[in-house]
């Protein structure tokens, strides 16, 4: 048994310690907003926050997450209010198919926490998630819009 | 070119789309014996519209949503004619089983070939208009007035003497009236909902993690499966040692799937996949185990000068023109295999019992999925059903090809009553694609002594998609694959735009063992690169400006010229570019839309920065400009990722690149500024598509700008093979 704290709630789950955090979140905790895209930390669809740090959970063993605060896309909204990144995403209609956007939003939420007013270069250097629909033009506009709301 | 469906008492043919080429191509399905109920019971006003007593409008959707916005666009068209309150509109998917049982009242489910809106706009608008007429008639009957005295707006019906009611109040009575056939449609000039940049459905669920993709489906008692098919295409399973993994935690079953694959079923997918990776499998690799990129390239090269080739476009006498030319220009281009790499890998969930087989699947064609369920389950149509889920990307992989559905059903058949969710790993997704076909092209241009282009021969040599996917089309075409000529065909939705007095465009078909498929844009990707880069080569040889050279050849095709002029003007063609910045152009007619791009790039060492691309599209009508704008920009990401990074290399009969670490895709840092010019010409002609056409112009526009910057013409792809990087 492994105890994980996800979105503020403790879960005792029966997995091998080397199971990727992604699959423990999806299959054992049962939260499927965090996506599988590559399994090798390339695409970023599986991004969650581990103690506030954006982490590609497909390549992060569940054993390393024990005792840490894990936040997934389902836990980003606070007391019923969407996070400003989520609001900006809706306003700018960022998603196309939407599959990569949970990870994209989690990566951007961390960027804005560290750099409240990111430049385009900050965005380029930090946001390396893959989106096959090609939503990047809207992603950039929405990041700046979310930053302006801070 | 029109395919006439064959009909008989027991079966009919579904016009399932081969993604373009003006083709509707079929497969057989038996009729089911029963009428099926629609999900939202009543009141149904025709087949497209259901209105509930609280005024909620439910619009039925046959096409699939994969991010392209087609569902929102189609709903706008129905709502426009219905005169309903847009804020009350929602939608649902009638199942393929229901469609079959009701004699295909919802028509085609195929969502590829950029056809979602352009090929159903008329009948869905008629569906909205008929429903409005029924509602008006019901109100008139209730008020005992003539229907001409009643009008509808915003879900409210008004009549004489201040009479007023709502759609919801008369919907039940309206649903009992006959459905008017061929109602008159609005003039698009009067559109209030269609043609506007209305926000798409479903965004909030996508940003909160609530949207359920196929990968996320949960059913009671469900088990998970991972699968591995012979990595050499055409190979088979020889043996596997199930005992090695059957004791691993969570593993429930290790089984062969058909002749070609092995799967592990477990409590969780991670357990299934872990066991599958540990499972010793011996393959009979078959006759293709020695095929490589080099052997395929040799085969294609031989086709460039072969005697026999299928003609796609011809006029004048190209032989004479080449013989008498004052100057000839020749070039050979090549295009690689590429994978779709949808962000959500292939998957399907199946539940099988002796008298029911149900499948939940993200699909571009619910009816193709349904056909796969029938074939794999062996059950009759009234005992099968498919439930469509929204897709995490499609791009052509999830329409004609339903291999994952077949696999899921075959596994579920071995475990009756237990729902089986089959998920492919990314590696399986890359190893078992339906790949953008390989093609080489030799182009020869002939000039007279005054540098007029007198002849053009474009010889394609490479793989036919339809030979593999729809061989019956080749039979009708005497062996030719008309789809190979997308963008350069004699006539139709992919007609060649230039007027050249002596022209020959032909295709030497060479079909390697790798399974080809429809990949966003399909054959316009390579054809536009071949043609539009070579037009720049010709202009250079003639000492003429690339835009002026094209303009002279486009006089007979004003809409081609229109989009080209639009991007040239916006980019500032002919005026000085910023320091170090160079420009390139390209255009094409594809999927009945006219598209063009003008790119600005700079080159530093081996690094190419694409600063800006101006795109123009004329799709005849623009149903939702905001969604079109996103499709244009997104298509450039797809197209430029392919140009710079993407090749599926064949070695020992199998694919080499199996994940994003070797098969890269553009990130935000590489994204150019995309400015789209949406310039629908209107009129009564066919509507053009949106999702695919613009993809083809990005790459040649960038390549032409690169040549302008460096003097170097690159003719084989991806650019990473030339050590050229996208900055």
pLDDT band at B341 (very low <50, low <70, confident <90, very high): very high
Asked if the C-beta of B666 comes within 8 angstroms of chain A's C-beta atoms, the answer is yes
Mean residue pLDDT across chain A: 97
Q: Do A30 and B210 touch (CB under 8 A)?
A: no
pLDDT for position B31: 35
- Output DSSP code: residue B289: T
CA distance B94 to B580: 55
In whole angstroms, what separates CA B581 from the centre of its chain?
A: 33
pLDDT at position B440 over 60: yes
Helices (H) and strands (E) in chain A, counts: 6, 5
Closest CA to B474 of B507, B512, B521, B513: B507
Best of B668, B674, B690 to disrupt the A interface (most A CBs within 10 Å) is: B668
Closest CA to B698 of B550, B618, B630, B599: B599
Q: Do A37 and B630 touch (CB under 8 A)?
A: no
pLDDT at position B28 over 70: no
- Average pLDDT, stretch B245-274? 98
pLDDT band at B129 (very low <50, low <70, confident <90, very high): very high
Can the peptide bond before residue B624 be classed as cis, meaning omega within 30 degrees of 0?
Answer: no
Residue ranges of alpha helices (H) inside chain A are: 21-23, 62-65, 84-91, 101-114, 120-126, 136-148
Contacts of B638 in chain A (CB under 8 A): 132, 134
Contacts of A45 in chain B (CB under 8 A): 343
Asked if the C-beta of B320 comes within 8 angstroms of chain A's C-beta atoms, the answer is no
Asked if the C-beta of B480 comes within 8 angstroms of chain A's C-beta atoms, the answer is no
The owner of tokens 């009508």 is B621
Domains, chain A, with CATH or none: 2-75 (3.10.20.30), 84-148 (1.10.150.120)
pLDDT cut 70: percent of chain B above it: 94
Task: Please tell me which residue of chain A has the smallest CA distance to B223.
Answer: A27
Asked if the C-beta of B646 comes within 8 angstroms of chain A's C-beta atoms, the answer is no
Comparing B37-41, B238-242, B327-331, the range with the smallest average pLDDT is B37-41
pLDDT at position B32 over 50: no
pLDDT at position B25 over 70: no
pLDDT at position A25 over 70: yes
Mean residue pLDDT across chain B: 94
Q: In the A/B pair of chains, how many CB contacts fall below 8 A?
A: 179
Tokens representing B73 are 């666009």
pLDDT for position B48: 97
Task: Please tell me which residue of chain A has the smallest CA distance to B203.
Answer: A90
pLDDT at position B96 over 80: yes
Q: Do B344 and A99 touch (CB under 8 A)?
A: yes
Best of B217, B225, B343, B645 to disrupt the A interface (most A CBs within 10 Å) is: B343
pLDDT for position B713: 98
- Average pLDDT, stretch A36-58? 98
- Average pLDDT, stretch B160-173? 97
Domains, chain B, with CATH or none: 32-207 (3.30.365.10), 214-286+346-423 (3.30.365.10), 293-338+435-726 (3.30.365.10)
Backbone phi, psi, residue B489, to 5°? -75, 165
Q: Which residues, in sequence order, are CB contacts of B475 under 8 Å at separation 6+?
A: none
Q: Which residues, in sequence order, are CB contacts of B76 under 8 Å at separation 6+?
A: B86, B193, B194, B195, B196, B198, B623, B624
In whole angstroms, what separates CA B437 from the centre of its chain?
A: 15
Q: Which of A37, A89, A97 sits opposite B391 (nearest CB)?
A: A97
pLDDT in tens, B4-14: 223 222 232 33
pLDDT cut 70: percent of chain A above it: 100
For residue B411, give the H/E element and its range: helix B403-413
pLDDT cut 90: percent of chain A above it: 97
pLDDT band at A150 (very low <50, low <70, confident <90, very high): confident
Tokens representing B260 are 């070609």
- Per this entry, what is the length of chain A? 150
Q: Do B393 and A27 touch (CB under 8 A)?
A: no
The owner of tokens 């063009």 is B596
pLDDT in tens, B237-258: 999 999 999 999 999 999 999 9
Tokens representing B84 are 């309903």
B18 compared with B310, residue with greater pLDDT: B310
Name residues 552-571 of chain B within 8 A of A (Cβ): none
- Average pLDDT, stretch B455-474? 98
């Amino acid at each position: 048994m492994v105890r994980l704290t996800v979105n503020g709630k403790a879960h005792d789950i029966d997995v091998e310690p080397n199971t990727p955090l992604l699959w423990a979140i999806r299959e054992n905790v049962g939260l499927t907003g965090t996506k599988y895209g590559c399994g090798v930390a390339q695409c970023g669809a599986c991004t969650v926050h581990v103690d506030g740090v954006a982490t590609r959970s497909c390549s992060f063993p569940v054993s390393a997450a024990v005792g840490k605060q894990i936040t997934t896309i389902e836990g980003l909204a606070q007391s019923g209010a969407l996070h400003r990144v989520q609001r900006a995403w809706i306003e700018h209609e960022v998603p196309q198919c939407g599959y990569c956007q949970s990870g994209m939003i989690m990566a951007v939420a961390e960027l804005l926490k560290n750099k409240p007013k990111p430049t385009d270069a900050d965005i380029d250097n930090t946001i390396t998630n893959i989106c096959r629909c090609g939503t990047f033009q809207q992603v950039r506009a929405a990041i700046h819009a979310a930053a302006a709301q801070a | 070119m029109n395919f006439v469906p064959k009909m008989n008492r027991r079966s009919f043919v579904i016009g399932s789309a081969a993604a373009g080429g003006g083709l509707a191509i079929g497969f057989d399905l038996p009729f089911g014996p029963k009428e099926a109920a629609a999900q939202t019971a009543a009141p149904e006003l025709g087949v497209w519209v259901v209105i509930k007593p609280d005024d909620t409008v439910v619009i039925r959707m046959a096409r699939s949503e994969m991010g392209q916005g087609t569902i929102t666009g189609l709903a706008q068209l129905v709502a426009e004619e219905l005169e309903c309150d847009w804020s009350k509109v929602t939608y649902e998917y009638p199942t393929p089983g229901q469609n079959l049982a009701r004699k295909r009242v919802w028509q085609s489910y195929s969502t590829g070939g950029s056809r979602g809106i352009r090929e159903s706009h008329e009948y869905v608008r008629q569906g909205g208009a008929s429903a409005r007429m029924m509602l008006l008639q019901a109100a008139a009957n209730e008020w005992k007035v003539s229907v001409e005295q009643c009008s509808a707006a915003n879900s409210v019906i008004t009549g004489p003497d201040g009479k007023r009611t709502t759609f919801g109040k008369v919907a039940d009575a309206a649903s009992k009236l006959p459905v008017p056939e061929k109602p008159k449609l609005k003039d698009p000039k009067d559109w209030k909902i269609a043609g506007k940049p209305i926000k798409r459905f479903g965004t909030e669920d996508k940003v909160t993690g609530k949207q359920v993709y196929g990968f996320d489906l949960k059913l009671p008692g469900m088990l998970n499966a991972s699968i591995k098919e012979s990595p050499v295409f055409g190979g088979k399973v020889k043996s596997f040692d199930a005992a090695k993994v059957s004791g691993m935690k969570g593993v429930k079953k290790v089984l062969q799937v058909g002749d070609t694959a092995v799967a592990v079923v477990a409590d969780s997918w991670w357990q299934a996949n872990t066991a599958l990776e540990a499972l010793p499998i011996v393959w009979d690799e078959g006759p293709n185990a020695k095929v490589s990129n080099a052997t395929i390239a040799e085969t294609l090269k031989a086709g460039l000068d072969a005697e026999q080739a299928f003609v796609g476009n011809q006029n004048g006498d190209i032989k004479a023109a080449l013989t008498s030319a004052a100057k000839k220009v020749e070039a050979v281009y090549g295009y690689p295999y590429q994978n779709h790499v949808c962000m959500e890998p292939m998957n399907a969930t199946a539940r099988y019992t002796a008298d029911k087989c149900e499948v939940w699947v993200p699909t571009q064609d619910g009816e193709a999925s349904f056909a796969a369920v029938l074939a794999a389950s062996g059950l009759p149509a009234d005992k099968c059903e498919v439930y469509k889920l929204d897709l995490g990307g499609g791009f052509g992989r999830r329409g004609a090809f339903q291999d994952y559905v077949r696999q899921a059903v075959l596994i579920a058949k071995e475990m009756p009553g237990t729902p089986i969710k089959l998920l492919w790993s990314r590696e399986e997704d890359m190893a078992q694609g339906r790949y953008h076909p390989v093609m080489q092209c030799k182009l020869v241009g002939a000039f007279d002594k005054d540098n007029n282009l007198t002849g053009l021969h474009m010889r394609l040599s490479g793989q036919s998609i339809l030979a593999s996917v729809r061989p019956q089309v080749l039979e009708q075409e005497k062996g030719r694959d008309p789809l190979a000529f997308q963008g350069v065909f004699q006539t139709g939705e992919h007609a060649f735009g230039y007027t050249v007095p002596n022209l020959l465009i032909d295709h030497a078909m060479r079909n390697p063992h790798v399974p080809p498929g429809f990949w966003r844009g399909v054959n316009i990707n390579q054809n536009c690169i071949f043609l539009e880069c070579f037009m720049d080569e010709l202009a250079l040889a003639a000492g003429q400006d690339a835009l002026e050279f094209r303009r002279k050849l486009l006089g007979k095709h004003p809409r081609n010229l229109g989009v080209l002029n639009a991007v040239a003007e916006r980019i500032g063609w002919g005026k000085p570019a910023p320091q170090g910045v160079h420009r390139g152009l390209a255009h094409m007619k594809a999927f009945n839309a006219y598209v063009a791009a003008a790119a600005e790039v700079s080159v530093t060492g081996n690094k190419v920065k694409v600063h800006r691309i101006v795109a123009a599209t004329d799709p005849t009508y623009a149903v939702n400009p905001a969604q079109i704008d996103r499709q244009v920009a997104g298509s450039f990401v797809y197209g430029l990722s392919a140009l710079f990074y993407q090749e599926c290399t064949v070695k020992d009969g199998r694919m080499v690149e199996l994940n994003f670490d070797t098969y890269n895709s553009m990130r935000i840092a590489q994204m150019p500024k995309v400015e789209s010019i949406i310039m629908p010409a209107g009129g009564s002609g066919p509507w053009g598509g949106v999702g695919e056409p613009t993809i083809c112009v990005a790459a040649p526009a960038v390549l032409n700008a690169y040549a302008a910057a460096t003097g170097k013409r690159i003719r084989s792809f991806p650019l990473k093979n030339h050590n050229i990087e996208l900055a």
